[in-house]
Amino acid sequence: MTTLRVALVQQDTVWQDPAANLARARGFAREAAEAGARVAVFPELFTLGFTMAPEPFAESIPGPTTEAVGALSREFGLYLVGSCVEAHTPKARNAAFVTGPDGSLVAAYRKIHPFSYGEEHQHYSGGEDCPLFQVDGIPCGLQICYDLRFPEPFRSLAVRG
């Protein structure tokens, strides 16, 4: 059996300040690497906070946030799971991504089910697919928050390995 050590980051977010949050993320990535983790996972929209004003922060994938997180992956030799507001029409998307130890973008996922009870659907478009990727030969997938309430994407990932 293969073991994969994953660090889950709980970061006190500086509201809508990507630079400050990325600076904090560096310390968490270092701690994860020093603890022997192979993967570190940051919270949903960790560079901003869970904002309902996504437009000023919307960016492409790859883009500034994936590049900054990729640099941390390369520096600490980790797979990092981050997220950002992705520019998209008609509305931005809440997106997660994985960067590899070489700094490359490994996978990107767009939250399929915006949290309608929190009015997220009024500000974000849903995604359509669930990428399957590998971490050191172990098949992995991504989901974001409210997506866990819907079994179909998990079933799709399981069927694909």
Q: Where in the sequence numbering do the catalytic residues fall? A: 44, 111, 145
**130-143 burial, b if ≥16 CB within 10 A, otherwise e?**
bbbbebeeeebbbb
Instruction: Locate 106 and state its tokens.
Output: 């490994």
Residue 139 forms beta bridges with which residues? Answer: 134
Rounded Cα distance between 95 and 161, Å, is 22
Rounded Cα distance between 100 and 116, Å, is 32
Rounded Cα distance between 119 and 62, Å, is 27
